[in-house]
Structure 1
Amino acid sequence: MSMRVTHGLPLARKTTLGIGGPAAVFVDLQDLADLPEFVALAADFPGVPTCLGDGTNVLVSDAGCSSPVLRMNTQGVRFMGEVADGRTLVEVQAGHSLHELVDTVVRRGLIGMEMLVGIPGTVGATPVQNVGAYGQEISETLVEVTAWDWVLSRRVTLGAAACGLGHRTSIFKGAGRWTLLTLVFALRKSALCAPLTYRVVADRLDVPVGSRVPPIEAARAVLAVRRGKGMVLGCSGADRRSVGSVFFSPELTPAQARRLRDEGASINRFPDGSARVSASWLIRRAGFALGGPIAEGVRVSSLHHTLVADEGASAAGFTEAIDVVVNRVLECTGVRLTPEVDFLGDWPEEEDVAG
């Protein structure tokens, strides 16, 4: 059997922030054949089970989690051949590393994911908030997902259109109804990547915005940019306790976009048609200094304007830091930030964990 069950496991060990109390029961699932056993086990505990990938985008409550926590550790990529429009279908297990998947398909000359290189976490987490970076989003390549539906108590298959994919959101985010099991993507064979829409990546390659280069070169440039911001696991030293982007890139009204552009902000057009500015630019504009303390055990990264945890950090302190940043950015820029991090576990009912 490839299902490991642990009671009272501190979830801080399973997240990149290193924050959080214990799980009443923690299950590491390595083979989908054992899923029925997990479903039976979960019936003995309150609440709907929570799925945890690599813990790279979660803040766990100091009180821990009384409902079962499932760590999807299933691995595997299967190339299913071409469909009528020439794209190649790729089936991936939910526990497979996203970074490894991107590396695999790029080396095969398949495009559609090259800008997602270096993003930590599992493939199963990507539709939950429609993971994206540098002009690409999962919504552009996702075909369908297979999931366990805790309401219907059976496996279901959902096409991409049914997943409700938007800017860093989907029907899965915050719902708790589904546990994603496998995903199918459609990627296109090409000697050149998608057009480069972000200046920072184009500058790294010394080409104009809109250029196309071999996908492996684009991926290397994106990876170099991410490393420079400390947003690749294992490269950021003292800033390693991070969730990457704590806040969404907020959507701007035309008036806000014009004003911030005049102030030097880089306004980017996202696949959903919205104009957005990076949260890190707003945090810097609000006067937060790199490395500066925000709350006990929580500070601004020394590499990038995002929040990181140090010794003594707690979930309560991290949510306090989120509130401080949201309020000062709103006061200084007129733009409201919204947390991107997922809040997992048993939170006090009176606490506003959404900042």
Structure 2
Amino acid sequence: MRLSTPHDRPDHGWSVAHHHRRDTTSMRVTHGLPLAGKTTLGIGGPAAVFADLQDLADFPEFVALADAFPGAPTCLGAGSNALVADAGCSSPVLRMNTRGVRFVGEAADGRTLVEVQAGHPLSDLVDTSVGHGLIGMEMLAGIPGTVGATPVQNVGAYGQEISDMLVEVRAWDWVSRRHVTLDAATCGLGHRTSVFKGSDRWTLLTVVFALRKSALSAPVTYRAVAERLDVSVGSRVPSDEAVQAVLAVRRGKGMVLGCSDADRRTVGSVFFSPEVTSAQARWLQDEGASINRFPDGTSRVSASWLMRRAGFALGSQVAERVRVSYLHHTLVADEGASSAGFTEAIGIVVQRVLEHTGIRLKPEVDFLGDWP
């Protein structure tokens, strides 16, 4: 594990240990703020303390604020993968709203190093990188959320994932109580997971990626995207055309925020694509399922295919105010939904898929707050 303090590398002018209070702060602190409006599901109770951080220079003030509470705080980016408990959150909630992209040099392999603030929107970073002739993120177009959340989930889609380009993250370690820098190997990136997933030890502050200069995209490896582009799988196309094709495919599934008013309260994929054995893969392929190989060497089947196989129809009600999307086999919330109802729906889907296929789904969504 590689750990460094601010004395080991440039500190961007701030550190908790040597912070001099400024006369003004841009961090807004609110007590009892309902968290439902801060998530794309629109579900959840209030935060005892909610801090909106827009400048990393103010982060030491949040550390001082969090010290008044037991345990580590909860970090919330865009709330696009979060299910907040109906009871809310008694620990401080930090909304990472920092913005900024810097080109900071060149890696040994010639790729361009890009440092990004954790609160920066991922969609904006995709557009920025493509606009500067850099590839590596074009297949991530349309994924909501912040850059700081991408290593946590090892975000990926259509043949690309964060592990392909991550160099390091800079974070605050609530255990050692100092700034640390973790290289990509230390982050333990796997299929939609990392050392950060399910842990409250670190708050990610900045992320460094290595992106390659090219006018053409990475090879198009997913058939649906290739068909949209009218090219063969493995082809390379202008990166902006790849972005538009990915967005079109995602919109067709209702997987771009705002593209479907009826399904707007969503977290996208509620379940991981489960790993399957060779025997299961053969059976599933015989049944018409598409089996995909992932960079971690696993074979996985689509959770949406399993839901369809288990008899869940598009738009069908699963629990109170929770149903299957009209466009894609995933769960969405209707007006008046609760976190209790959404978790009930998750359990119903898991059980029915297990009964019909013998495969157990695992929720991908992050459960935040005070659960019973």
Give the TM-score of the pair, scaled to structure 2: 0.92
**Cα displacement (A) at 1:228:** 0.9
Q: Give the aligned residue type for 2:177.
A: S
Which deviations, in whole Å up to 9, do the C-alpha atoms of 1:219-269 show, x marking residues without a partner?
110011011111111111110000000000111101111111111111111
Aligned: 1:35 with 2:35: no
Return the alpha-carbon distance in structure 2 between the equivalents of residues 129 and 101 of structure 1: 17
**Structure 1 contact 268–277 (Cα < 8 Å) conserved:** yes
Q: Alignment partner for residue 253 of structure 1, among 277, 291, 309?
A: 277
Q: Give the aligned residue type for 1:170.
A: S
Name 2:156's counterpart in structure 1: 132
Name the Cα RMSD after superposition: 0.8
Q: Alignment partner for residue 306 of structure 2, among 257, 263, 282?
A: 282
326-335 or 52-61, which deviates more: 326-335
Name 2:295's counterpart in structure 1: 271
Q: Alignment partner for residue 339 of structure 2, among 301, 315, 324?
A: 315
Return the alpha-carbon distance in structure 1 between the equivalents of residues 207 and 86 of structure 2: 32
Secondary structure in 2 aligned to 1:128?
helix
**Structure 1 contact 46–66 (Cα < 8 Å) conserved:** no
**Cα displacement (A) at 1:136:** 0.7
Q: Give the aligned residue type for 1:209.
A: V
Which deviations, in whole Å up to 9, do the C-alpha atoms of 1:200-234 show, x marking residues without a partner?
11111111111111111111100110111111111
Aligned: 1:50 with 2:74: yes
Q: How does 1:317-336 map to 2 (within 5 A)?
A: 317-336=341-360
Name 2:19's counterpart in structure 1: none
77-86 or 56-65, which deviates more: 77-86
Q: Alignment partner for residue 180 of structure 2, among 128, 149, 156?
A: 156
Aligned: 1:175 with 2:199: yes
Return the alpha-carbon distance in structure 2 between the equivalents of residues 109 and 224 of structure 1: 21
Name 2:189's counterpart in structure 1: 165
Return the alpha-carbon distance in structure 2 between the equivalents of residues 267 and 197 of structure 1: 13
Aligned: 1:91 with 2:115: yes
Return the alpha-carbon distance in structure 2 between the equivalents of residues 145 and 276 of structure 1: 28
Name 1:351's counterpart in structure 2: none
Aligned: 1:114 with 2:131: no
Name 1:201's counterpart in structure 2: 225
Q: Give the aligned residue type for 1:220.
A: Q
**Cα displacement (A) at 1:277:** 1.2
Return the alpha-carbon distance in structure 2 between the equivalents of residues 258 and 107 of structure 1: 42
Q: Give the aligned residue type for 1:154.
A: R
**Cα displacement (A) at 1:334:** 1.5
Q: Give the aligned residue type for 1:342.
A: D
**Cα displacement (A) at 1:191:** 2.2
Return the alpha-carbon distance in structure 1 between the equivalents of residues 281 and 221 of structure 2: 17
Secondary structure in 1 aligned to 2:139?
helix
Percent identity between the two aligned chains: 82
Which deviations, in whole Å up to 9, do the C-alpha atoms of 1:301-341 show, x marking residues without a partner?
00110000012210110000000000111111111110000
**Structure 1 contact 136–271 (Cα < 8 Å) conserved:** no
Name 2:211's counterpart in structure 1: 187
Return the alpha-carbon distance in structure 2 between the equivalents of residues 314 and 252 of structure 1: 32
Q: How does 1:227-238 map to 2 (within 5 A)?
A: 227-238=251-262
Consecutive unaligned residues in structure 1, runs of 5 or more? 349-355
Name 1:8's counterpart in structure 2: 32
Return the alpha-carbon distance in structure 1 between the equivalents of residues 236 and 301 of structure 2: 24
Return the alpha-carbon distance in structure 2 between the equivalents of residues 265 and 219 of structure 1: 26
Q: Give the aligned residue type for 1:39.
A: V
Aligned: 1:347 with 2:353: no
**Structure 1 contact 143–160 (Cα < 8 Å) conserved:** yes
**Structure 1 contact 202–209 (Cα < 8 Å) conserved:** yes
Q: Alignment partner for residue 214 of structure 1, among 193, 215, 238?
A: 238
Return the alpha-carbon distance in structure 1 between the equivalents of residues 228 and 143 of structure 2: 18
Return the alpha-carbon distance in structure 2 between the equivalents of residues 47 and 26 of structure 1: 16
Name 2:267's counterpart in structure 1: 243
Return the alpha-carbon distance in structure 1 between the equivalents of residues 29 and 183 of structure 2: 32
**Cα displacement (A) at 1:156:** 0.5
Name 1:353's counterpart in structure 2: none
